[in-house]
A and B are shown apart, each in its own frame.
Chain A
Amino acid sequence: MFQNRAEALALALPAVVFAALVFLVPVCILLSEGFRMEGAWSLGAYWDFFANPLNQTVFWRTLKLGAMVTAVSAVIGYATAYAIVTLPPTARGRMIGLVVMPLMISPVARTYAWIVILGRTGFVNKIIVGLGLSDTPVRFLFTETAVFIGLLQLFLPLMILSLISALENMPRDAVPAARVLGANWFQVFVKVILPLTKEGLVIGGTLVFTGSLTAYITPAILGGSKVLMLETLLYQRVTVANDFASASIIAMILIVMSFSANLLLKRLATARNRR
């Protein structure tokens, strides 16, 4: 588009300088805090962080919930997205509208709604007790189950939308052709749909996993201090203990986890491609 590269770079310069000054530099300063101990550069703070049993629990819980939410949203996402792309255009538009709608509602409102639904006197417990599945209401609030449900509902639309756009780009005849040639639905999914939509899965998976790791409101409200996640622990370290060193370590861990998840998903996608 541009006659010379220098011109293009010059146009990008203000944005680059702005992002570097107000984003990159402060983030680097903040993250460097975690590598300093008693005035010298060291990995000691990281060692101390992971030596603490509470931090270990919180780290594994965050990783586990993030992975579970991503996996389950991929399963539900594929089924929903496939059902939606096979609809006629008008109905498809309406269904996509329904998927997007929760994204337009504040996460705080959505999460509080779960408190009402999952509470002792809430909808879910009324059904459980009504059906005689349990004599007394089951405690969901402030458990990992509640956080899982909240996160899944929060990020599922992102997975569905990524998969819809991937499925729409898939050749229309691919699935009927595979079926005609005798593939069952499982084979169709593994050998046709999955390879052709892996980009969408990588994007959706990264969005959902990163979102689950860094969500604050949902774990804070539905899990509270009984189900601490890395993000809620970070907030606690800063606001309660004014401990920016631990906070910067947690921030670094979250960044590394997000990038690793993205790389891992991309690697899985290309590995399948080569086969």
Chain B
Amino acid sequence: MLRKTLAAGIALGALTAPALAADNTLVISVYGFAQDEFKELVYDPFEKICGCELVVETGNSVERLAKLEARKDDPEIDMAVMSTHDALAAARKGITQSIDVSKLSNYDKLYDIAKDPLGDHLGIGYTFYATSIAYRADKVKIESWADLFQDDLKGRVAFPNVTTNQGPPALYMLGKALGDDAPSLSAPITEVGKNKDDIVTFYVRSSQVAQLMQQEEILAAPIGRFAWGAYPKMGLDMAWATPKEGQTGGMNVMILTKGAKHEDLAYQFMDYWLSTEIQTKLAEALVDSPANAEVTVSDEVAANLTYGEETVKNLHLLPPAVILDNREAWLAEWNEKVGQ
């Protein structure tokens, strides 16, 4: 009898111990980049403040979305960050819930564009980036998105693949330059198809572009501002274009999973991440451009970020619903006209 009781006790102890520990554990899912900086600037200080344990899952948006969907009925992840269109896809699948913004003391400090990009407070913007054209100022002149296909750039230009986050926004701006910015992106895809032999590669990773630029393989490419940091250090005459049609870009948002087991901790963490202090630190480390309008940084730091109300206001962002609803059609048209 004694042995049975002891065994039952041990079994019960083994079962409840992780559960107790788990009660004070916040599970988040984020992009894999700059995790060392995030650990130092955000995760470690937050663990000290909340007295909790933070479990960080990383991966690209699609992988994380698939994981969230697979665990929809019993979510292990409490909050996640993703692009606006992936967040909208998650919302449509019923994976996320509206965020009660009254629980976020830093909410009012955000730029208007970041406050409710998906509607119903299904996501809150925490950073955004501009997308424009990085180019060799000593070799070519870029004043419009259409200049990507000028004669001097034949065989010396890279373009983002339609499957990347930079692809559709870059096509959208090219469409504007061509006088047709319909969400079908048909005109710009046709234009890229016409010039495909003059395009060195349709890149899928920003780091690839930096290498090609450094090797003087290419002279221009549309890139996200988050990747710009490496360019001024190349020892080449690099410039960031301000095309007459404007710049485009993208935004990343925080989401709260439906049925999150540690909702209060998730709110505390989101509020901490959106605070002026943390947003400033992340900006100064050139990790993320701030969505908090109260953040002030030096001119040098600002030059490497997407910073300031004017800049943010003038970004021509593709609405997430447009991206989500047209993605398959864009890919089909791209495969047909640009092929591979």
Contacts and interface: CB of A to CB of B under 8 A. Distances in A.
Interface in A88-145: 115-116, 119-122, 139, 141-142
Contact of A139 (B161, B200, B211): B200
A53 to B, nearest CB: 8
B201 A226 contact: yes
Contacts of A54: 335, 339-340
A57 interface: yes
A175 interface: no
Majority SS of interface residues in chain B?
mixed
B155 interface: yes
A202 to B, nearest CB: 33
Nearest to A58: B340
A124 B187 CA distance: 38
Contacts of B208: 224
B66 interface: yes
Contacts of B264: none
A142 B199 CA distance: 10
A86 interface: no
A225 B204 contact: yes
B297 to A, nearest CB: 34
B111 interface: no
A167 to B, nearest CB: 41
A119 B217 contact: yes
A159 interface: no
Nearest to B215: A119
Interface string A251-264: 00000000000000
Contacts of A120: 215-217
A124 to B, nearest CB: 13
Interface string B311-340: 000000000000000001001000110011
Contacts of B339: 53-54, 57
Contacts of B66: 242
Interface residues of B, number: 24
Interface stretch (A6-14, A147-155, A206-214, A233-241): A233-241
A234 to B, nearest CB: 14
Interface in A50-65: 52-54, 57-58
Contacts of A141: 200-201, 217
A228 B215 contact: no
A57 B200 contact: no
A74 interface: no
A109 B208 CA distance: 14
Contacts of B202: 224-226
A250 interface: no
B65 interface: yes
Interface in B8-37: none
B68 to A, nearest CB: 12
B62 interface: yes
* Most interface-central of A52, A57, A226, A228 (chain B CB within 10 A): A226
B163 interface: yes
A242 B340 contact: no
Interface in B189-225: 200-204, 208, 211, 215-217
Contacts of B62: 238-242
B201 A242 contact: no
Contacts of A224: 201-204, 208
Contact of B215 (A115, A225, A227, A241): A115
Contacts of A139: 155, 200
A120 B202 CA distance: 17
Interface string B106-134: 00000000000000000000000000000
A115 B201 CA distance: 13
B299 interface: no
Nearest to B339: A54
Contact of B65 (A53, A115, A242): A242
B65 A57 contact: no
A243 B66 CA distance: 11
Given A120-B217, A226-B340, A142 B204 contact: no
A272 to B, nearest CB: 39
Nearest to A121: B216
A57 B335 CA distance: 11
Interface of B: 60, 62-63, 65-66, 155, 161, 163, 200-204, 208, 211, 215-217, 328, 331, 335-336, 339-340
27 contacts: A53-B336, A54-B339, A57-B339, A119-B215, A119-B216, A119-B217, A120-B216, A120-B217, A121-B216, A139-B200, A141-B200, A142-B200, A224-B202, A224-B204, A224-B208, A225-B163, A225-B202, A226-B201, A226-B202, A228-B340, A236-B163, A239-B63, A241-B62, A241-B163, A241-B328, A242-B65, A242-B66
Given A225-B161, A240-B163, A241-B62, 9 more contacts: A52-B335, A57-B339, A57-B340, A58-B340, A116-B215, A224-B201, A225-B202, A241-B331, A242-B62
Interface of A: 52-54, 57-58, 115-116, 119-122, 139, 141-142, 224-228, 236, 238-242
